Amino acid sequence: MIQQLSRFISNLLSPLLMPTYGVIIALWVSILCYQSLSTRLTVLFFIFGTTCLLPLLLLFAMQTAKMLPSKLVDHKERTLPYTCAIVCYLIATYYLTSVHAPTWLTGFMLGVATTTLVSLIINLKWKISAHAAGMGGIVALLYFLHFIHMEAFNSLWILCLAIIMSGVVGSVRLYMQRHSLAQVLAGFVNGFLCVHILINIFY
């Protein structure tokens, strides 16, 4: 039961879903919530397709072509999937720029790409948690929206919830023996710093 719940949480908070969750937060929690629903949904669906569905399709294609094993157990085997994800995130960044999204939102997406690049480099020598990195990026985004007063309502409780869920995700990855505590903490710091720095540079 605990194993199944851990797997469910791990899948629900997959790194590939974090850009989508970030855009949901941006479009429904920040002052962007006053944009029309059709505009917000169009942006959301494009981001979801580009940053989640497309990388999954590319991963499936590479595994079908025997370019990658069915299970990426060795952290060095993640170089190609990470590279594909980075390209997809850069496409999403360009899209946000083309639709004249706020610069801080563009900075968030570029921060996600930077986080993945740092994870890729670190993974060449040492395994780092991408799940924790994704949660770190979400916490950084919510931190920015709340303390720069870019939110449409008081979102402190959402920030607190994201911090709690970061702990839950980290605990799940430890329970599943996918990472050590150091790898989880390093992942969170990586995601938080990359997104925080890029958002503030663009803002």
Q: What is the pLDDT of residues 33-43, one digit of tens each?
A: 999 999 999 99
Given a cut of 70, is residue 189 above it in pLDDT?
A: yes
The answer to whether 166 and 184 have CB atoms below 8 angstroms apart is no
Q: Helices (DSSP H) in 124-180: which residue ranges?
A: 130-147, 156-175
Paired tokens of 145: 């929206």
Report pLDDT for 173.
94
Phi-psi region of 153 (alpha: psi -120 to 50; beta: other; left: phi over 0): beta
Residue with tokens 């720069």: 148
Please tell me the total number of residues recorded for the chain in this structure.
203
Report pLDDT for 74.
60
pTM across the whole model? 0.94
Helices 79-98, 103-123: inter-axial angle, 10-degree rounding: 170
pLDDT band at 72 (very low <50, low <70, confident <90, very high): low
Given a cut of 80, is residue 184 above it in pLDDT?
A: yes
Given a cut of 60, is residue 54 above it in pLDDT?
A: yes
Residue-wise burial string across 97-128, b where 16 or more C-beta atoms lie within 10 A, e elsewhere: eeeebbebbbbbbbbbbbbbbbbbebbeeebb
The answer to whether 194 and 116 have CB atoms below 8 angstroms apart is no
82-119, pLDDT tens digit by residue?
999 999 999 999 999 999 999 999 999 999 999 999 99
The answer to whether 79 and 125 have CB atoms below 8 angstroms apart is no
C-alpha atoms less than 13 angstroms from C-alpha of 189 in its C-beta half-sphere: 7
The answer to whether 195 and 103 have CB atoms below 8 angstroms apart is no
Residue with tokens 């999954």: 56
Q: Which residue has the higher pLDDT, 137 or 59?
A: 137
Three-state secondary structure call for residue 176: coil
12 Cβ neighbours under 8 A, 6+ residues apart: none
Given a cut of 60, is residue 73 above it in pLDDT?
A: no
